[in-house]
Amino acid sequence: MPLLNSSYSGAPAYLYNGHLQTIVPSLTRRVTGVTYERERLTLSDGDFLDLDWIDAGKKRLVILTHGLEGDSQRQYILGAARLFSTNGFDVLAWNCRSCSGEMNHAFRLYNHGEIGDIAEVIEHALQTKSYEEIVLVGYSMGGNITLKYLGVHGKKLPAVIKRGIAISAPTDLGASALLLDRPSNRFYRNRFMKKLITKLNQKADRFPGRLDMTKLRQVKQWRDFDDFFSAPVNGYRDASDFYTQASAVNFMPDIAVPTLLLNAQNDPLLSPECSPGWLAEKHPFVFLETPKTGGHVGFLILRDPYTYAERQALAFAKGFISQ
């Protein structure tokens, strides 16, 4: 498919760069009117996930996957939940392991390449509800998870899954990790690392001898953190193995349903490699939209309760975007 010409008019003028377009919506946006019903899903390995539903008995379901250290209460998830639920969809916003307010039981946490959990979430929805159509929408890390899931399953995807949408997705994790080490991205790097270290300390306390937290003193760049912690806690050999196995771009060629990837060109957390134009140009199902502005999971529209990303996701889910 040809690359999409973006219709995004751009962020409000006072958000004049990618950092402001990323940080201001995260700190100031407030979405109201969303009421979830929580369900705890016991996983095949005995661990659990907390699922937040808006179940109105509709025939279509959107499954929302949050970003790194996010959850179902993030404003971008709430915004999508409200928009989809008022436009003919039930909503399932699931929380990755350790992200729902209670630490998960297993040693492992969650990561960009983990698609077993979303597979169990989808299977649970299919077994307990009667949906004619499912659309997957993921943000940032959740976008990478969504794209990898679609690519790995390819033509063997459950037939009820009709479309996928990924917003601000770091599809090339190695390239994105390098960006986190830039001085201009220190705010994001420190914020992510602080939250992850808190969880890793809990894991180290509960599982003595499994993690060497003294190696934190050796972390000089984000790749070190992935080598010492992200990889071992999630079952990867090292950072290189993690980046190879988790990066969605390595699996996207096998996607077999219409899929939209929306990445802003000024996203401070995404490298150009995360927006594979070379793939979209020749792939029958991958649509790539790269507006000049938008930041990371930002895409604000002046005087609009919803973001451009949310409105574009709904339009694509309904089949209104074809080229």
**Per-residue pLDDT tens digits for 234-287:** 999 999 999 999 999 999 999 999 999 999 999 999 999 999 999 999 999 999
4 SS3 class = strand
Average pLDDT over residues 78-95: 98
Q: CA of 265: how far to CAs of 92, 193, 268, in Å?
A: 29, 25, 9
Residues 124, 211, single domain; the answer is: no
Q: Rounded to whole angstroms, how far apart are CA atoms 111 and 148?
A: 12
267 is catalytic: yes
Length reported for the chain: 323
Average pLDDT over residues 223-231: 97
pLDDT above 70 (res 80): yes
CATH number for the domain spanning 92: value is 3.40.50.1820
> Confidence class of residue 2 from pLDDT cuts 50, 70 and 90?
low
pLDDT above 80 (res 322): no
Judge contact between 249 and 144, C-beta under 8 A.
Answer: no
* pLDDT score at 207: 97
Residues 48, 80, single domain; the answer is: yes
pLDDT above 60 (res 166): yes
pLDDT above 60 (res 104): yes
Of 205, 221, 246, the residue that ends a domain is 246
**Could you say which of 50, 100, 267, 275 is catalytic?**
267
**Could you say which of 72, 98, 140, 230 is catalytic?**
140
Q: What is the DSSP letter of 3?
A: P
pLDDT above 60 (res 1): no
Residues 103, 233, single domain; the answer is: no
Residues 146, 280, single domain; the answer is: yes
Q: Residue 218: which domain range?
A: 173-246
In the chain, the percentage of residues whose pLDDT exceeds 70 is 98
Residues 92, 222, single domain; the answer is: no
Domain-located, residue 309: yes
Domain-located, residue 59: yes
Residue 196 φ/ψ, nearest 5 degrees: -70, -40
Residues 124, 222, single domain; the answer is: no
Domain-located, residue 265: yes
* pLDDT score at 320: 84
Q: Rounded to whole angstroms, how far apart are CA atoms 230 and 121?
A: 23
Of 186, 211, 246, the residue that ends a domain is 246
Domain-located, residue 28: yes
Domain-located, residue 323: no
Domain-located, residue 127: yes
Task: Taking the CA atoms of 205, 49, 67 and 284 in sequence, report the sign of the dihedral they define.
Answer: positive
Residues 265, 138, single domain; the answer is: yes
Domain-located, residue 107: yes
Residues 131, 274, single domain; the answer is: yes
**Could you say which of 66, 112, 153, 296 is catalytic?**
296
Residues 50, 126, single domain; the answer is: yes
Domain-located, residue 131: yes
* pLDDT score at 3: 85
> Confidence class of residue 30 from pLDDT cuts 50, 70 and 90?
very high
Residues 50, 66, single domain; the answer is: yes
Q: Looking up tokens 């299977």, which residue turns up?
A: 123
The average confidence (pLDDT) of the chain is 96
Of 224, 246, 268, the residue that ends a domain is 246
Residues 69, 187, single domain; the answer is: no
The total number of structural domains in the chain stands at 2
Residues 142, 269, single domain; the answer is: yes
140 is catalytic: yes
